[in-house]
Amino acid sequence: MDMAQPPVAKAVLRAILPLLAILIFSVAQAGATGTVRVQQSDGSVRTYDDVSIRVKHNTLRIGSKDKKGVLVIDRAACSYVGELLRCLPTSFQLVQTGQTKTIQLTNGLVYLNLTDSPQQMTFSSKHMQPHALMLTLHTLRGTYITIRGQIDELQP
């Protein structure tokens, strides 16, 4: 009887692992609720819902719902305004279809609330919710990109 245990354990593991992966993936998908709004210089507007917002390895990564594209801010000048982290992004890239394309910025501003409590915004009556992100970018080609949402993943 004891000799039969290892194959059984292996079979159980084989059965569990894919299902566990499905479970984790499903929960992660349900958590991505950020919104990206892109207004091109010709006035056309597109909105991307359910984007994922991840802060990983000193980069801010905004992943599209279909996981085909990622907007990456990998360089920014950051300082704190009260409890809110304010960053002036300097490098912005679109990673899509296996290519990384740099998008030239005119200016931009990122606010992050990394605390666990709502924070009052400076010179505003608005509060930022815990782990919330607000981002506005203006590209050299005249595109306005605004991103709102909550951070889905935070890694140092």
Partner 1 sequence: MKSIRSFTAMVLILALPAPALAQQHGGGGRPSGGGARPAPQARPAAPAQRPAPSRPAPPPQTRPAQPGYSLPHDTQRPPANAPSRPPNNNPGYRPPPPPAQRPPATRPPNPYYRPPNYRPTHPVVIVNPRYHGNPAWYWNRGVAWYPAPAYWGGGFWGTLAIAATSAAIFGYIAGSSGDQYVSYQVQPNSPGAQLLQAYSLTQTPCGPPNLVVIYGPDNSVICAYPNNLVSAGTYSVDPSTLTISSY
Chosen residue from 1, 5, 6, 45 binding partner 1 by CB under 8 A:
45
CB of 139 to partner 1, least distance (A): 5
> With respect to partner 1, which residue has the nearer C-beta, 48 or 135?
48
Q: Does 58 bind partner 1 (CB under 8 A)?
A: yes
- In three-state secondary structure terms, 12 is helix
Q: Does 120 bind partner 1 (CB under 8 A)?
A: no
Distant-in-sequence, close-in-space partners of 109: CB < 8 Å, separation ≥ 6: 86, 87, 88, 89, 135, 136
Q: Does 2 bind partner 1 (CB under 8 A)?
A: no
Which parts of 17-36 interact with partner 1 (CB under 8 A)? 19-20, 22-23, 26-33, 36
- Measured from the Cβ of residue 64, the count of other Cβ atoms closer than 10 Å reads 17
Q: Does 132 bind partner 1 (CB under 8 A)?
A: yes
- Measured from the Cβ of residue 110, the count of other Cβ atoms closer than 10 Å reads 20
- Residues 21/27, Cβ–Cβ less than 8 Å: no
Maximum C-alpha span of the chain: 73
CB of 150 to partner 1, least distance (A): 5
Which parts of 70-99 interact with partner 1 (CB under 8 A)? 70-71, 75-82, 85-86, 88-90, 94, 96-97
